[in-house]
Structure 1
């Protein structure tokens, strides 16, 4: 149970329901509220007769609420500062809990709260003591919408329909937020409104509030993400920022995004959303960017990591970090976990030197977490595991273990190819909107002269052309075609035809769906059939030097 929940309010409501009263507090019932650290000295001197005297009306309901019980009775007494005192307190407390069962006509209910169930002493977690364990999951999107509607009810500038629409809009962008986080978010937006932080000129009330909450979301993060060393990346990238690759973007939208945007349609046909996808292809071809776009398009929390962040000189720390990543993802579902250069993180066990190799241990941990076997009790939500998408990126798909490549783990093996002629034109056009290209810059000609260039090469080409223009004239305000030609005389592509053909051959050997190719004029039409969705996708690719034949 997270510390941000209003446990005391829930207990008060429980007492009121048990007494048949509609009020939040009931005078004939008693609620004893204590917290872990403050009741340690009292618990040492407390005994059965003293406890009975505290319960003045045994015929009525008495509720004893103990907050942060993990501080009173920790799981590992050996790690406590005062071992003997902690062991004595824990023993006395368990004895008192057992004695409450023998109180005559005792109508006593003991409730305890904790933010980490694993830190509670196991002696308390058995039948006869705290036999029922209730985990309060973070609110889902629908529950967050209901909370926001209550928080926005005092906003007089918004109509009832606008409040519902605003609550739905904010709820879709706050995965992992609990009630207290949403209260902080609304309060921050109201403070910015009072300070005039957002401009309301030529904006409707709804647009004005959306702008306020957009700024607030950059500052107020989910409490589960604070104080953790797991990298959470915010991104506003969409598929429109990626030039070209229309067939790939359409395939991802149909097979991946639709399962998270319209889960009801998938449930209606008994379909499960994909657990993972592997993006492979030449370096510099936007694999990382595609992962960021997927997370933003589906309104998912984006967790990114790599081998350099996971590896540790201490035995077992790398495996613990993998567990921490997945537990954080479950608390902030829907979530996308991105493993960059996954081949360096978990390679094939056939290539490993010994069974104790760190890559073998990491692979075993990763496979266990992907299957959902390693979930802790308090993070085991039925729906959270199905709302986690694992994306891996690699330039060496051939060195990955076959256990990772099977359906149910990496369900999709997606080839991110080097940009063809049409893609290079669109990539250069995207950069042309961001950089001051001169009117004499011929994008079609540049695309023709940049065969085998990756997306990163094209970005570097534009930067070098801009530097060339500044070097010639510090007062220059545009990039001319001559600047591009000067750079192209010295710049060579980072990719070769052999590299591109190697990835094409790997795709043919590991294709997961049937393809049918037809030729119409000078265009090649690839009809891709996705068996899980039973749909056809038609992709038009321009032929270029028969490289894609």
Structure 2
């Protein structure tokens, strides 16, 4: 029979009891037993009868739990009576080994020097219960123990007997006294410690810890290094906290977290007092073992000098190097940190966590999906998620599973490969990568295909060769020793699909696409535009492979010939430095292999004569592609693509319309199609079903060409040399 569990309130009369209805066998009345709950946790209780209970309900006291203690609690707990293990014999315990857990490190320090009194109190508490090996007794909520500050007692060994009771002659041996803060972290950290894709940064952190332990173990001031301070740099959601939790678990260290934004306090001096209390607490925890002070988002309180900053610097410099105390700061914006924090005497050790590459993303996806998806399908998803960090991938899989459950109308944990793969493919375009999250440069669009752009066959081929091949097949270029182009300049008359070409190429190839114009980057504040350009290039590197599209590039980095020195010249210098690949400010470099990041810059202009010649040198915009006005064949192809979803009459002859649209750009042709549809509504009313040839002829009169023969001739004869 299956019983639904109701947890009883801790009182002296209900301690170590489990009440059932009178449906259980009489021979089990009053017997002690190990009761498994949901086949996960076991509790040591005495079986009691309450005839007023419903048949399928039991009231369970969870004070004495069989180790290991689980930190996860399911929504509904059940007990299967057939799995209950009855204890046949209860003996007296001769010797008992304990681990005592106090509520805080301060309480632990208070009672460490009172071992005789503590043993006496513990014996009185333990006489209330029946014990087996490896159980934890939770006494936190027992009111008569509040003054002691005791949280729980771990009974590790009671000798060779299966179960027993503590009597006056029982010898109590305390193996360890610790605080709940340290004990609970060790339990929590062991639950989910997979380091998929983070092994490199973890190994570097581990080596720092080993060096500190070796220095401390020498017990010599000559061998003691200064207290270990590490700066962990990486974008939001990349796994910084997971990495530190794993480090703490492996080295049995306690983590004490100081979250930067939470330090703000309304009263003067309150923040400084809080920081000092945290450091004092850490020193106390060091008496038990290694301690980590985790400074989350350190840039939020270490960007400029002030009272809080000065207090923090003082506490940082006053750490005793003989203590096993490690200070780890995490940040996604290292360039915001004050220079005193970045000095060699403070956070001199740095660990960079980068945007995971395709192989690392595949490893992370495998961890989240388990064995549901094949390796080939995981690789396909990894190719579609450039710029995704571990948090993004976890969210992607979670939302895909939620989508499957919503479609089926029920909750399930077992998914078929096909349904999960299809759901992930649908959700991948709805989740924005953390590395490019923000307003500037982000283009949110639906999946596009090159076939959706009519004409320009030769230009498409050149773009595939110059952009798609180097980004998606870098190993082939390396194998044949082909130099990858750093950038491409698209020039030609306005309205000829330069922007659409770049966007469609990125979308069809699952490449990150960032698009900006000169207006997005200019700022009235001195130096602001240069910072924006630097950050934009860094985001492009983080999310590689990336196409960084700069529209109207002539307005941003125009020619310097014949002009006085201006702010535009400093913008051009910054742009050139970033294009040359040396724009990695020491702390801004998020990944160590960033030099190999795959970013191609595409500039677009309809004034090629205004582009500075320095931008066109090898290693910058070294591929120049002319995007001409559409030819007759191109115009016909564009009309066919645009009108594919429009209801045309059989009398409509697109060939004739294409012949009448000389000097029309691609944008003009799109406007022409819209105007023809409006003419149909104007003439036939809102019930119009089809677009006739007459509507097209009227549209031709309303939409004139935007190009001129002189303009086209100028582009055809233009040369950069």
Q: TM-score range by the shorter chain?
A: 0.7 to 0.9
Tell me if structure 2 keeps the 8 A contact 1:233–1:303.
Answer: no
Tell me if structure 2 keeps the 8 A contact 1:235–1:292.
Answer: no
**CA deviation after TM superposition for structure 1 residue 275, in Å:** 1.3
1:177-216 maps to which residues of 2 (within 5 A)? 177-196=388-407, 208-216=419-427
CA distance in 2, matches of 1:242, 1:51: 62
**CA deviation after TM superposition for structure 1 residue 220, in Å:** 2.5
Cα–Cα, structure 1 residues 362 and 120, in superposed 2: closer, same or farther, change >3 Å? Answer: closer
CA distance in 1, matches of 2:533, 2:408: 40
**CA deviation after TM superposition for structure 1 residue 138, in Å:** 1.5
Cα–Cα, structure 1 residues 17 and 307, in superposed 2: closer, same or farther, change >3 Å? Answer: same
Q: What are the ranges of 5 or more consecutive residues in structure 2 without an aligned counterpart?
A: 1-233, 264-270, 410-414
The total of aligned residue pairs comes to 471
Provide the residue aligned with 2:663 in structure 1: 452
**CA deviation after TM superposition for structure 1 residue 281, in Å:** 0.6
Q: Which has the higher contact order (CA 8 A, sep 6+)?
A: 1
Cα–Cα, structure 1 residues 299 and 336, in superposed 2: closer, same or farther, change >3 Å? Answer: same
1:395-474 maps to which residues of 2 (within 5 A)? 395-474=606-685
**CA deviation after TM superposition for structure 1 residue 294, in Å:** 2.0
Instruction: Say whether 1:501 aligns with 2:709.
Output: no
Instruction: Give the one of 483, 495, 516 matched to 1:284.
Output: 495
**CA deviation after TM superposition for structure 1 residue 35, in Å:** 1.6
Instruction: Say whether 1:87 aligns with 2:299.
Output: no
Instruction: Say whether 1:256 aligns with 2:484.
Output: no
CA distance in 2, matches of 1:72, 1:441: 64
**CA deviation after TM superposition for structure 1 residue 332, in Å:** 1.6
**CA deviation after TM superposition for structure 1 residue 12, in Å:** 4.6
SS in 2 for 1:134: strand
Provide the residue aligned with 2:567 in structure 1: 358
CA distance in 2, matches of 1:243, 1:215: 26
**CA deviation after TM superposition for structure 1 residue 46, in Å:** 8.0
Instruction: Say whether 1:377 aligns with 2:608.
Output: no
Instruction: Say whether 1:64 aligns with 2:273.
Output: no
Provide the residue aligned with 2:237 in structure 1: 4
**CA deviation after TM superposition for structure 1 residue 439, in Å:** 1.2
- 1:223-265 deviations in Å (ceiling 9; x for gaps): 3344554433334222111111211112222232111121110
CA distance in 2, matches of 1:124, 1:316: 23
Cα–Cα, structure 1 residues 284 and 53, in superposed 2: closer, same or farther, change >3 Å? Answer: closer
Provide the residue aligned with 1:44 in structure 2: 276
Provide the residue aligned with 1:478 in structure 2: 690
Tell me if structure 2 keeps the 8 A contact 1:452–1:497.
Answer: yes
CA distance in 1, matches of 2:587, 2:632: 51
Tell me if structure 1 keeps the 8 A contact 2:238–2:355.
Answer: no
- Supply the RMSD in Å over aligned alpha carbons: 2.8
SS in 1 for 2:350: coil
SS in 2 for 1:133: strand
Tell me if structure 2 keeps the 8 A contact 1:68–1:112.
Answer: yes
Provide the residue aligned with 1:153 in structure 2: 370
TM-score (norm 1): 0.79
Q: What are the ranges of 5 or more consecutive residues in structure 1 without an aligned counterpart?
A: 19-28, 78-82, 199-203, 512-549
Instruction: Give the one of 488, 496, 502 matched to 2:700.
Output: 488
**CA deviation after TM superposition for structure 1 residue 133, in Å:** 0.8
Instruction: Give the one of 564, 571, 576 matched to 1:367.
Output: 576
Provide the residue aligned with 1:118 in structure 2: 335
**CA deviation after TM superposition for structure 1 residue 214, in Å:** 3.8
- 1:432-467 deviations in Å (ceiling 9; x for gaps): 212111111112222222222111121122122212
Bigger strand fraction: 2
Tell me if structure 1 keeps the 8 A contact 2:454–2:634.
Answer: yes
